[in-house]
Amino acid sequence: MQLNANPFPYDFEISKTALVIIDMQRDFIEPGGFGETLGNDVSLLEAIVPACQAVLQAWRGVGGLVVHTREAHDAELKDCPPAKRNRGNPSLRIGDAGPMGRILVSGEPGNQIIPALAPVPGEIVLDKPGKGAFYATPLHSLLQQAGITHLLFMGVTTEVCVQTSMREANDRGYDCLLLEDCTESYFPAFKAAAVEMMRAQGAIVGWTAMSSQLLPALAAAPAR
């Protein structure tokens, strides 16, 4: 299968490709969560949910592997260093009690993936203590076991957890593509810059494309 991606066509096989959905959590997407305590307009992130939902539904329809990540820490915050917890001068810090439970703590309501993109049985769900999906998680080994060589990325935020995860994936040998309309930042200029950085110099980190380019290709693929 080939997509007319940027900066040049992206070739992939569904059986060797995983859809990686980064941190589409209530604490980042919904009002009252951690993102809003940092002074951000969470409606910017909420706007990509329909496009993400369409891609997820189509990817499930062709039997593709799905990976969901959540930025999450254990209840005692042993995996959250002070250098991370104290950044940003938020009104609520990681581990503090918020409107949706303790901020970014595993198992809390706000730490869950939004209902529109909720995982289904058989999909990989990983809690990650860092920005990148590969740091302190079994993601690389799980992908290797599944014979995965290519990754499609969507999620939030573009310049932080998404970009970090794509760079980690690139260093591990995966060919990565970012769906531009399925990722967002609280700062539109940061998203634009991150997208340009990732596909610069001949896709130095990865390719980019729109979901409108992917969906017709998936619709034409045989169901599994």
Backbone angle region of 192, left / alpha / beta, with phi > 0 → left and psi within -120 to 50 → alpha: alpha
Residue 74 is among the residues annotated as catalytic for this protein:
no
Q: Choose the catalytic residue: 27, 80, 127, 161.
A: 161
The reply to whether 161 belongs to the active site is yes
Q: Is the peptide bond before 50 cis (omega within 30 degrees of 0)?
A: no
How far apart (Å, rounded) are the C-alpha atoms in residues 124 and 101?
A: 24
Per annotation, catalytic residue among 128, 131, 176, 181? 128
Kindly list the distances between the CA atom of residue 19 and the CA atoms of 59, 62, 80, 148, 151, in Å, as whole numbers in the listed order.
Answer: 8, 12, 27, 10, 6
Q: Which structure tokens are listed for 205? A: 């980190």
DSSP 117-161: G---TTSEEEEESSSSSSTTSSHHHHHHHTT--EEEEEEE-IIII
CB 190 within 8 A of CB 158: yes
Angle at 5 between CA 7 and CA 155, to 5 degrees: 105
Question: What six digits make up the tokens of 132?
Answer: 């990148």
Least Cα distance to 22 among 194, 193, 145 occurs for: 194
The pairing of strands 10-11 and 124-128 is unpaired
- Give 57's contacts (C-beta < 8 A, 6+ positions apart): none
Q: Which residues are catalytic, by number?
A: 23, 128, 161
